[in-house]
Amino acid sequence: RQLQPDIVHTHSAKAGILGRFAAHSLKRATKIVHTIHGLAFHQYQSQWLNQFYIAIEKSAAKRTDFFISVANAMTAQATAVGIGRPEQFVTAYSAIEEDDFLEPISQERKRDFRRKYEIDEDVIVLVTIARLFMLKGHKYIIESAKHLSKRFDKCIWMFVGDGNLAEHFKREVRRLGLAQRIKFTGLLPPGEIPLAIQSSDILVHCSLREGLARTLPQAMLCGR
C-alpha cells in the first residue's frame, strides 16, 4: 500500500493468489499480471483439493488483467477449467543463454568437478537437475538405481538441487546402501549448471508434471 505500484506481477500459486488479491484491494488502477509456471491442480492429488485450487484460481483470475504462460499447454489447461479468458494470455518461453551450454568446458574443469564429488573419470554419470520434492520423480530414480547398481559397477547418479525432501532422500539412499552411488550436490549457482551437465554423461528427468522443463533443452545443447 505504501508503494502504490502501477503494475503488480506475481508468480507461483500461493504468492500469486495472495499478491493478486492484495493488489486488487489497492484504491488505484493497478494492472495485475500473473505468470503461470505450473498449475496447482493436477492428477497426482485428491479431487477435492483440485476443486479447491481451481475455485481460488478462478476468483484470482477475476482480479487479473493479463496472464503469462511458460508454455501453450499451461494456457490450455487454465482456460479449460474456466481460469481466465484466452485473450488474456500470452506465452513467453523460459529463456536460456544458449552460449553458456554450447561452449565446451575444458577436461580439466570437468575432472575437477567430478573429483569434488569423489567420482572417477571412467564412471558413467547420470545427472538429475531438479528441486528435491515429491513431483520431480527422484524416488523412481532411487528405486531404479537400487537395481541398476547391481548390474553396472561403473555407474553413478548425481542429484543437483535442494528441497524439502532432501533429507528424506538422503536417508533412503543410506538405507539402501547407495550412499557411494548416489551423490547430492545441493543447490548449485546457475553458472555451474552447464558444468554439471557437461561433466555427466546422461541427463535423467523423471518429473511427473512440468510447465516447461528447462534441463531438457539445456542438456541437448550440451550434446547429452
Look up cell 541427463; give the residue: 203
User: Would you kindly state where each structural domain of the chain is located, as residue ranges?
Assistant: 7-91, 98-221
Strand order in the sheet with 124-129: 182-186, 155-160, 124-129, 202-203
Cell numbers for 210? 512440468
Q: Give the whole-angstrom CA distance, residue 163 versus residue 138.
A: 11
The answer, yes or no, to whether residue 204 has pLDDT greater than 80, is yes
How far are the Cα atoms of 10, 17, 18, 88, 141 from residue 28, in angstroms, in the given order? Answer: 18, 19, 18, 21, 50
Q: Which CATH architecture has domain 7-91?
A: 3-Layer(aba) Sandwich (3.40)
| Mean pLDDT, all residues of the chain | 93
Question: Pick from 202, 198, 196, 201: which is nearest to 184 by CA?
Answer: 196
Percent of the chain whose predicted confidence (pLDDT) is above 70: 100
Strand 182-186 and strand 155-160: pairing?
Answer: parallel
The total of other beta-carbon atoms located within 10 Å of residue 75's CB is: 21
Residue 27: what pLDDT?
Answer: 77
What mean pLDDT is predicted for residues 194-200? 97
Confidence of residue 2 (pLDDT cuts 50, 70, 90): confident
Residue 210: what pLDDT?
Answer: 77
Q: Give the whole-angstrom CA distance, residue 81 versus residue 199.
A: 43
pLDDT digits (tens, 9 = 90+) for 97-129: 999 999 999 999 999 999 999 999 999 999 999
How far are the Cα atoms of 1, 18, 144 from residue 122, in angstroms, in the given order? Answer: 59, 51, 21
Q: Which CATH architecture has domain 98-221?
A: 3-Layer(aba) Sandwich (3.40)
The answer, yes or no, to whether residue 212 has pLDDT greater than 80, is no
Confidence of residue 202 (pLDDT cuts 50, 70, 90): very high
pLDDT digits (tens, 9 = 90+) for 183-193: 999 999 999 99
How far are the Cα atoms of 49, 121, 125 from residue 188, in angstroms, in the given order? Answer: 33, 21, 17
Q: Give the whole-angstrom CA distance, residue 198 versus residue 21.
A: 44
Q: Give the whole-angstrom CA distance, residue 184 versus residue 189.
A: 14
Q: Give the whole-angstrom CA distance, residue 62 versus residue 202.
A: 44
The answer, yes or no, to whether residue 170 has pLDDT greater than 90, is yes
Q: Give the whole-angstrom CA distance, residue 129 versus residue 133.
A: 12
Tell me, yes or no, if the two domains 7-91 and 98-221 fold the same way. Answer: yes
Beta bridge partners of 52: none
What mean pLDDT is predicted for residues 86-104? 92
Residue 44: what pLDDT?
Answer: 81
Read off φ and ψ for residue 6, nearest 5 degrees. Answer: -85, -35
What mean pLDDT is predicted for residues 64-89? 95
pLDDT digits (tens, 9 = 90+) for 16-45: 999 999 999 987 788 999 999 988 888 888
Residue 29: what pLDDT?
Answer: 82
Residue 1: what pLDDT?
Answer: 73
What mean pLDDT is predicted for residues 146-153? 94
Helix (H/G/I), strand (E/B), else coil: 134: helix
Residue 21: what pLDDT?
Answer: 94
